[in-house]
Structure 1
Amino acid sequence: MPTSRLTALIGTTLRQQRELRGLTQHALARLAGTDRSTVTRIEQGERAPTVAMLEKLLAALGLQLTVGVEPLDSEVDARIDELAVRSVAERIDAVGLDRMLDRLAELPHVLTGTTAALLQGAPVPVGDLEIAVAWRDAERFADWLERHYAQRWNPAWEEFGYLPTDPRDPGEHRWQVVGGVLRAGMCEELPEAIEVRHGDRSYRVVPLALVEATEPATAELLRRWRARLARTD
């Protein structure tokens, strides 16, 4: 990802997470031990923060920095084009979504991220199954993970394992379980959800507009899809 896009993505993510917590730029700056102008410039994409500064800002928001990689833009666009000619039912089947959801039926959750986008018709690549889980259900979630032989993602080793699986313990909320990889957004309350139907099955998903407003990575994929649609009209 070019630096200019990465800088803009960092800024957008920081602003969204700050606003979700009801903090002003001044309040965040004070918590992170910096000044308001620094927060403003980072959020506006005018300044690329150092890793140390970004970690301080995220820590002030109760978050931690993780590092990942993604395919080159041309490969993402090719994948979007490939998915666009397939039905939603075919895409659901290809990622094994229903089998995973059958296992999750006992756990209160809603679908979010690229999973929610897929179910609302967007031809975006889906990797991990993405869900939101309320902290009040953390113990039930921990029991579910144990029963499904979960291994937690360890960013230091860049593989699954060697970390406590309980979501209340420190670590990225990403696990490999029987049937695939699960990523959870832990929250105080489950986000607003709508019901969509495909075939004889209903799915509770975060509305696409809310996904775009709160999840920058998925929002970028949706932007690329719409840009490609506009070029073909």
Structure 2
Amino acid sequence: MLGLPVRLPALVLAREGAQVLVIERGNSAGAKNVTGGRLYAHSLEHIIPGFADSAPVERLITHEKLAFMTEKSAMTMDYCNGDETSPSQRSYSVLRSKFDAWLMEQAEEAGAQLITGIRVDNLVQRDGKVVGVEADGDVIEAKTVILADGVNSILAEKLGMAKRVKPTDVAVGVKELIELPKSVIEDRFSCRVIRARLVCLRDHPPMA
């Protein structure tokens, strides 16, 4: 179980005094998460005010371009926002493996427990209710179980809560991470402070 949908509830519930256990299939929190990109701050600011001061965010996004393209032309919208933007209206570029590990640390400090390297194989049901999980041959009972095992959730499918994902409804992306020194990034993108530009391209017709 991984990602923001489980670490944030773990933090909130632990703050309220609940006994929380997070089961992570990877060897560390966020190890299985290869996504990244953009994080909008509005929801997280309500839970951890000023989180960006200590969280491993990469850069504050202040300049955004959105281009709609046809085969022969394109229309681009350009948006800029400055430092006066309220924290809840900001967004940041993040590397999820780093950010998820930090968020799990916040949950652990609040009292949540984390076990890693364990895969949840089945859900334990009794009288039509989910009352725990079966992981690595052991049964762990719980009053509430939160599934956060991704878009292709086999556990949710077993419960009948989700249908098998059709290949036409999802896409597989290939991502390459290139690490450059801070000075090189600032020189190439003409940004002398910790800021970022985001460019989104939308082709027409949509890619299959």
TM, length-normalised to structure 1: 0.22
Q: Decide which structure has greater strand share.
A: 2
TM, length-normalised to structure 2: 0.24
Q: Which protein is bigger by CA-based radius of gyration?
A: 2
Q: Decide which structure has greater helix share.
A: 1
Bigger relative contact order (CA 8 A; separation at least 6): 2
